[in-house]
Amino acid sequence: MAPSLDRQGYWGRPTSTLDWCEENYVVSFYIAEFWNTVSNLIMILPPICGAILTFRDGLEFRYVCSFLGLAAVGVGSWCFHMTLLYEMQLLDELPMIYSTCVFVYCLYECFKQENNISFIPIALLLIFSVSVTVVYLQWKEPVFHQVMYGALVACLVMRSIFIVTWVYPWLRPLCYTSLVVFLFGFLLWNIDNIFCDTIRASRQTLPPGVGVVTQFHAWWHIFTGLGSYLHILLSLQIRATYLKYRPKVKFLCGVWPTLHIDPQKTS
């Protein structure tokens, strides 16, 4: 990550433990990292729409929480990149842990009776979340957060692959699409971190409209936001299929995938 040697703006000197590769306050005096900020819209608007549709279709509230958790990550990330303040960094990073715990619960409890609540997994995930929070507040090391988040994602990947391999193989395209999209975003995140100096130098020689394409952390938001959204659709479809509902993927405006649940069960 590049040090903060950029312009000063509305929110003052950055206090976060991370300052990403986008030059600060270049586009707007009020937004520290403009492209890293607005790219979070993909993690805010579609999940809110998904939560509304899921609530309307009457599926279990845990899936509404999944969508709203992803939206909360998007809002927190927006605030973090807009201000580069430490408090806003926590508003971004800690919801990543909490929302992914919801994803884990949904996917590992997908083959239970309808409206069944398993308290042991909830307790374990709560203990994990609280422990990570306490440690991270005391030990302000971003790598710790990244490792804990990565462990949760690994649990999701293993469970998803198991289900589409042995239980519902017809869901492989959706599973592997969400995984590849997410991993591609992770690749761009690493490129942005490792080659930041080179990327920044290249932006000085590129036209502004072209230089925007090199904002790889913004692309990380877009691809991981889409990958996470598709994962929730996968989890929803697994659950709806198990409960013998009739899940059907539809495309909003012919582009954006949404899942609609027929309340009438199959025989």
Q: Is 170 annotated as a binding residue?
A: no
Of the candidates 203, 115, 107, 117, the residue with the CA atom closest to the CA atom of residue 163: 107
Q: Is 260 annotated as a binding residue?
A: no
Report the largest interatomic distance among the alpha carbons of the chain, rounded to a whole angstrom: 64
Sign of the four-CA dihedral 6, 11, 17, 20: negative
Alpha helices by DSSP H, the chain = 34-38, 45-57, 61-83, 86-108, 119-138, 142-166, 172-194, 196-203, 208-211, 216-242
Q: Is 166 annotated as a binding residue?
A: no
Count CB atoms within 10 A of the CB of residue 68.
19
Strand 256-262, strand 246-252: pairing = antiparallel
Q: Is 24 annotated as a binding residue?
A: yes
Q: How far apart are the first and last CA of the chain?
A: 55
d(CA 146, CA 150): 6
Sign of the four-CA dihedral 54, 183, 224, 125: positive
Residue type present at position 143: V
Give me the half-sphere count of Cα atoms (radius 13 Å) on the Cβ side of residue 40. Answer: 18
Q: Is 19 annotated as a binding residue?
A: yes
Task: State the DSSP code for 27.
Answer: S
Q: List binding-site positions for Ca(2+).
A: 19-20, 22, 24, 33
Binding residues, as ranges, are 19-20, 22, 24, 33, 81, 217, 221
- Binding-site positions for Zn(2+) read 81, 217, 221
